[in-house]
């Protein structure tokens, strides 16, 4: 170890204002936001890591076809979503999360109901696991550059090695200006870091360079992207691209690294404790329909499922939706990984 985490110069930045209670079922887990849509007598409770604004176009279109429904939508972090379902048995009818590993654990532990065969039959094999878990989006994990990130005349890095060189060559420029997830508090951040470590030795060299530059660690995409957009940070590593503004928006630039770009599958399941499992599955079926996927892509701005994307873009590397995701959730494995991460980030 290179120092104690409590003495680190790395600062955790988290711009989320937690609300106190969930509105459905168990009351202990922490939520970020919640909203009711519709006024019908039939209630559907949805728990999700996806911000309300991204899902509202899909919800509004669904309620046009189902005016008898009130859809209660709750947003929480991926860790809290897992806690609500696995530990508190909160009776949500549909759970959508960006933390593929935690969703896989819920399904693998027998806490998810089988989804209708008609819903699953049209999905690509890589986008589903058994009849319990299904992807609803596929989202690249990107490098996000602020408007002043690059020195004049310097091209954007295209690989992790080029990113390492950029940071090493300009330490004064990037000191205190590099952002990434804190894998100790972010479920998605831990997933991305663990996948990085599996795919490339360059990840640990990059982590050490970021540590020497006093990288700032974030719990959530919104805070990281906001700070880059406002110039407080110059670049963000492993940002969920679906939440980042498009290229040239506010001077921001999205870079899909060509050595590989991790691709997250945002997944959905119906919990075993659901009060209205059929209604949850029906909303999921609409989300996966042609209309629902068009609304996801055009109205919500999230990348819809695209079976040919990986063939067209060989640098995209899907995070596999299989029980291999569970290996990094082992407590000993997780503790060792986080110790190595802290050692890389904390420089004497």
Which stretches of the chain drop beneath a pLDDT of 70? 1-27, 246-250, 347-348
**Could you give the CA distance from residue 97 to residue 76 in angstroms, rounded to a whole number?**
9
* pLDDT number for residue 87: 93
Interatomic CA distance for residues 231 and 173, integer angstroms: 13
Tokens 């360059």 belong to 202
pLDDT for the residue 135: 96
Domains of the chain and any CATH numbers: 5-12+140-262+329-345 (3.40.190.10), 16-138+266-306 (3.40.190.10)
Beta bridge partners of residue 264, listed in sequence order:
139
* Nearest by Cα to 187 from 236, 226, 163, 220: 220
Query: What pLDDT, on the 0 to 100 scale, is given for residue 9?
Result: 36
Q: Which residue, chain included where needed, has tokens 């654990």?
A: 105
pTM: 0.82
- Contact status, residue 129 vs residue 321, Cβ threshold 8 Å: yes
pLDDT score recorded for residue 248: 59
Q: Would you state the structure tokens that stand for residue 87, as one six-digit string? A: 């530990």
pLDDT at 347: 62
Other CB atoms within 10 Å distance of the CB of residue 67: 10
Rounded Cα–Cα distance for residues 318 and 109 (Å): 23
The Cα 78–Cα 187 span in angstroms is 6
């Amino acid at each position: 170890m290179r120092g104690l985490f409590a003495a680190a110069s790395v600062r955790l930045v988290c711009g989320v204002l937690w609300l106190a209670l969930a509105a459905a079922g168990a009351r202990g887990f922490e939520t970020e936001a919640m909203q009711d849509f519709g006024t019908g007598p039939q209630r559907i409770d949805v728990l999700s890591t996806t911000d309300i604004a991204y899902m509202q176009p899909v919800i509004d279109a669904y309620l046009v076809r189902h005016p008898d429904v009130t859809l209660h939508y709750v947003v929480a972090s991926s860790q809290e979503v897992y806690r609500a379902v696995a530990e508190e048995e909160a009776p949500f009818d549909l759970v959508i999360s960006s933390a593929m590993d935690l969703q896989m654990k819920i399904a693998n532990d027998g806490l998810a109901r089988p989804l209708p065969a008609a819903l699953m039959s049209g999905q690509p094999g890589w986008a589903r696991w058994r009849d319990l878990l299904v992807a609803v989006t596929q989202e690249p994990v990107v490098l996000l550059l602020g408007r002043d990130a690059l020195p004049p005349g310097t091209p954007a890095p295209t690989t992790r090695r080029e990113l390492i060189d950029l940071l090493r060559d300009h330490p004064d420029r990037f000191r205190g200006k590099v952002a990434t997830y804190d894998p100790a508090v972010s479920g998605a951040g831990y997933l991305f870091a663990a996948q990085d470590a599996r795919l490339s030795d360059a990840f640990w060299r990059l982590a050490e360079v970021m540590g020497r530059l006093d990288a700032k660690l974030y719990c959530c995409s919104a805070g990281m992207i906001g700070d880059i957009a406002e110039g407080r940070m110059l670049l963000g590593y492993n940002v969920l691209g679906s939440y980042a503004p498009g290229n040239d928006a506010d001077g921001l630039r999205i870079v899909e690294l060509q050595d590989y770009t991790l691709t997250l599958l945002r997944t959905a399941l119906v919990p075993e404790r659901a009060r209205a499992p059929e209604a949850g599955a029906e909303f999921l079926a609409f989300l996966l329909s042609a209309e629902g996927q068009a609304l996801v892509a055009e109205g919500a701005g999230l990348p819809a499922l695209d079976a040919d994307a990986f063939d067209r873009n060989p640098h995209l590397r899907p995070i596999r939706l299989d029980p291999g995701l569970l290996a990094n959730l082992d407590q000993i494995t997780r503790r060792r990984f986080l110790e190595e991460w802290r050692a890389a980030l904390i420089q004497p």
